[in-house]
Amino acid sequence: MKLKTRIFGILEPGDEDSRYFDPFITVLIVLNVAAVVLETVDWLNASYGRLFRAFDLFSVAVFTVEYILRAWSCTENPRFRAPISGRLRYLITPMAIIDLLAILPFYLPFVIPDLRFVRALRLFRLFRILKLARYSDALKTFAEVLNLKKEELGVTLFATLIMLTVASSMVYEAENEVQPEAFANIPDAMWWGVVTLTTVGYGDIYPKTPLGKFIGSFVVIAGVGLFALPAGILASGFNEVLQRRKEKHRKKMICPHCHRYIGDYVMMKEEEDE
């Protein structure tokens, strides 16, 4: 077996050669996210700061080697067979971009030595958690559902934005004279619109005029129905994806000779044995 083929098999999730690499990289990603979170605790960072930095260096080295090897061995995939254009097409795939984002915060400070920029980049290490999408069936399923229902979710989001803009504009007209600080302009009123449409209602900003209260009541009721739509769309999407997988699995179990479902034959044999 060629070295490139072997490396491609090791890096490809679900391949027989990747049975050791997949758990290792998954645990490494989870530990990286935990390290980013724990670093924000002052006493932990003061006591174990050097350990955190050493672990980050080790992780960046592993992720960098993984990224380079994936870019090198991707030509084993028929989709990226061409040596140059194939690799370029691979590098702009979503997972390749996520792999790049996982290591970019470490290297950029060497190019842009702005301390404020460096501090901001530290948080971007959390992008490493997105690498789990390659190894988690649950995240793959969720991504498939989002891709399947992207048009419906897009329409729902557009309707939400329209409702937010209209509600914020109306409550601004109703409340601006009475509460010029809270509803100074429509963008400020949009904060009220967001917390009202989501039915959170923090209570920091609320209408006081009768017209404003009427608008607020309508927005709360509309928000309950509006935010129930994405839940229904996602539930429908999960059902469709799982149904497709069942059908795909069933087709694989069709006998090529008699064209019968093998599961039916197994059930008949079990009944005969009983």
CATH number for the domain that contains residue 205: 1.10.287.70
Average pLDDT estimate for 73-95: 90
Tell me: pLDDT of 239 over 70.
yes
- Indicate whether 141 belongs to any domain: no
Q: Total domain count for the chain? A: 2
More confident residue, 112 or 210: 210
* CATH number of the domain residue 99 falls in: 1.20.120.350
Tell me: pLDDT of 8 over 70.
yes
Tell whether 183 and 90 lie within a shared domain.
no
Q: In which domain, by residue range, is 170 found?
A: 150-267
Tell whether 114 and 192 lie within a shared domain.
no
Tell me: pLDDT of 223 over 70.
yes
Average pLDDT estimate for 70-92: 91
Tell me: pLDDT of 179 over 80.
yes
Residues 6+ apart with CB under 8 A from 58: none
Tell whether 129 and 163 lie within a shared domain.
no
> Which of 93-97, 108-112, 161-165, 269-273 has the least mean pLDDT?
269-273
- Among residues 111, 135, 159, which one ends one of the domains? 135
Across 33-58, b (16+ Cβ under 10 Å) vs e yields: bebbeebeeeeeeeebeeebeeebee
- Among residues 135, 167, 201, which one ends one of the domains? 135
Residues 6+ apart with CB under 8 A from 168: 186, 187, 189, 190, 192, 193
What percentage of the chain has pLDDT greater than the value 90?
16
Rounded Cα distance between 55 and 193, Å, is: 44
Tell whether 124 and 223 lie within a shared domain.
no
Tell me: pLDDT of 266 over 50.
no
Tell whether 131 and 7 lie within a shared domain.
yes
More confident residue, 148 or 121: 148
More confident residue, 149 or 138: 149
Report the predicted TM-score, pTM, of the whole model to 2 decimal places: 0.65
Q: What does the pLDDT look like over 37-48, one tens digit per residue?
A: 888 888 998 999
> Which of 135-149, 177-191, 229-243 has the least mean pLDDT?
135-149
pLDDT value for 89: 93
pLDDT value for 40: 82
Tell me: pLDDT of 237 over 70.
yes
Tell whether 105 and 204 lie within a shared domain.
no
Tell me: pLDDT of 191 over 60.
yes
- Among residues 84, 109, 135, which one ends one of the domains? 135
User: In the structure, what pLDDT confidence band is assigned to residue 269 with cuts at 50, 70 and 90?
Assistant: low
pLDDT value for 62: 93
- Indicate whether 142 belongs to any domain: no
pLDDT value for 105: 81
Tell whether 85 and 183 lie within a shared domain.
no
More confident residue, 200 or 14: 200
The whole-chain average pLDDT of the chain stands at: 82
Tell whether 120 and 156 lie within a shared domain.
no
pLDDT value for 54: 94
- Indicate whether 13 belongs to any domain: yes
- Indicate whether 97 belongs to any domain: yes
Tell me: pLDDT of 257 over 70.
no
Tell whether 124 and 158 lie within a shared domain.
no
> Which of 5-19, 141-155, 240-254 has the least mean pLDDT?
240-254
Tell whether 131 and 227 lie within a shared domain.
no
59 close to 28: Cβ distance less than 8 angstroms: yes
186 close to 167: Cβ distance less than 8 angstroms: no
154 close to 135: Cβ distance less than 8 angstroms: no
Tell me: pLDDT of 267 over 50.
no
- Indicate whether 8 belongs to any domain: yes
Tell me: pLDDT of 27 over 50.
yes
Report CA-CA distances (Å) from 136 to 60, 142, 174: 21, 10, 50
